[in-house]
Chain A
Amino acid sequence: DAMVIQNPRYQVTQFGKPVTLSCSQTLNHNVMYWYQQKSSQAPKLLFHYYDKDFNNEADTPDNFQSRRPNTSFCFLDIRSPGLGDAAMYLCATSRDLSTDTQYFGPGTRLTVL
């Protein structure tokens, strides 16, 4: 059974057209993370939520926003996608911040035309 679900798996958008990526989890984990991974690069943390507390990485562009309306769901909003935002977007969860491992969803491949 899928534990971390991401929708859609593939998303095509136009330059400058807002897009929203979705992540849901059935693990009841407190922490949800969003990573960006470009080809042949390491996943890069954009931000995370610990419960309702939002934590933004210092180098995450303002173009990227996130919402977590409840424990199960977290959204990544890209307000004005540029060509450089084409990447795999990975959602991950962990029970807590301290020692627990992170479990990844299948990812959403974003293409910007």
Chain B
Amino acid sequence: QKEVEQNSGPLSVPEGAIASLNCTYSDRGSQSFFWYRQYSGKSPELIMFIYSNGDKEDGRFTAQLNKASQYVSLLIRDSQPSDSATYLCAVRSGSGNTGKLIFGQGTTLQVKP
């Protein structure tokens, strides 16, 4: 079992729709969770982070965390073609204090005009 799992997609949504990206993780002691956006050929760009159970909203983005289910998601409202990218879920390991991030493979999102 991979430590951080994401559906590679592609996930295709029409412009203006809500895109829902999901991520599960195996380390129950994980403390911090991050979503990065990566355009083709570019480096990852931090979108959001979440530490506590529940929802965290920032503009069109909402991160949702459920530690009991070991599940974190990212909702993108009013999706735009410029949101088309690969979204990487990253989890900071709960063991030790190394700061090590474990990345998922990423979900490719396609927003069609």
Among A41, A88, A101, A103, the one with the most B-chain Cβ atoms within 10 Å of its Cβ is A101
B72 within 8 A of A: no
Which residues of B are at the interface with A, using a C-beta cutoff of 8 A?
Answer: 4, 8, 31-32, 34, 36, 41-46, 49, 51, 88, 92, 97-101, 103-106
A40 touches B100 (CB 8 A): no
How many interface residues does A have (CB within 8 Å)?
A: 26
What number of residue pairs across chains A and B have CB atoms under 8 A from each other? Answer: 55
Known: A90-B44, A107-B43. A102 touches B105 (CB 8 A): no
Contact of A102 among B8, B42, B101, B106 (CB under 8 A): B101
Main secondary structure of the interface of B (DSSP, over half): loop
Task: List the 10 closest A-B pairs by CB distance, nearest first.
Answer: A97-B99, A42-B103, A107-B43, A104-B43, A42-B105, A43-B103, A104-B44, A106-B43, A97-B97, A101-B49
A106 and B97 alpha carbons, distance in the complex (Å): 26
A68 within 8 A of B: no
15 contacts between A and B (CB under 8 A): A40-B106, A42-B4, A42-B88, A42-B105, A48-B100, A50-B99, A55-B98, A88-B43, A94-B99, A99-B32, A100-B99, A101-B46, A101-B49, A102-B46, A107-B42
